[in-house]
Each structure stands twice: as structure tokens, then as C-alpha cells.
Amino acid sequence: MPEKLDYKKEYKDLYLPKSVPMIIDVPIMKFIMIDGKGDPNDESGEYAKAVELLYGLS
């Protein structure tokens, strides 16, 4: 199993920005996304199931 990647150490410019504005290059990254709609307050709804799935995958 690969080592855990600490994004705050690896991408300091992105996650620990300076106090002055600066231009940074954001590298290509992969993300997990679920497209859809739903009421976030409905515990048995589509949105809640999608969030549960994302937590399981992350």
C-alpha cells in the first residue's frame, strides 16, 4: 500500500498560503464527485446517500 500523502507538506502554496496575494500554479489533481440533487436535510434522501458513498470512498 502506498504511503499517505500529506498535502499540506507537498503543496504548501495551496494549503498554507502566504499573507500577501500571489499567483500559484495548481497541478492537475483527481477528485471524486457525484452529480445530482437533493435535500441535504433529508436523512434518507439521494443527497445523504451520495455523501455516505463519498465518505466510504475517501
Instruction: Evaluate whether residue 15 is within a structural domain.
Output: no
Please name which of 32, 26, 31 lies closest in space to residue 11, comparing C-alpha atoms: 26
Its domain, for residue 38, covers: 24-58
Averaged pLDDT, 14-34: 86
Quick one: pLDDT band at residue 4, thresholds 50, 70, 90? Answer: confident
Distance between CA 11 and CA 13 in Å, rounded? 6
Is the pTM value of this prediction over 0.75? no
Please report which confidence band the pLDDT of residue 7 belongs to, taking 50, 70 and 90 as the band edges.
Answer: confident
Number of domains in the chain: 1
Q: How far is CA 48 from CA 27, 29, 32, 51, 52, in A?
A: 30, 25, 16, 5, 6
Residue 26 clears pLDDT 70, i.e. is over it:
yes
**Does residue 16 sit within a domain?**
no
pLDDT average, residue stretch 31-35 = 84
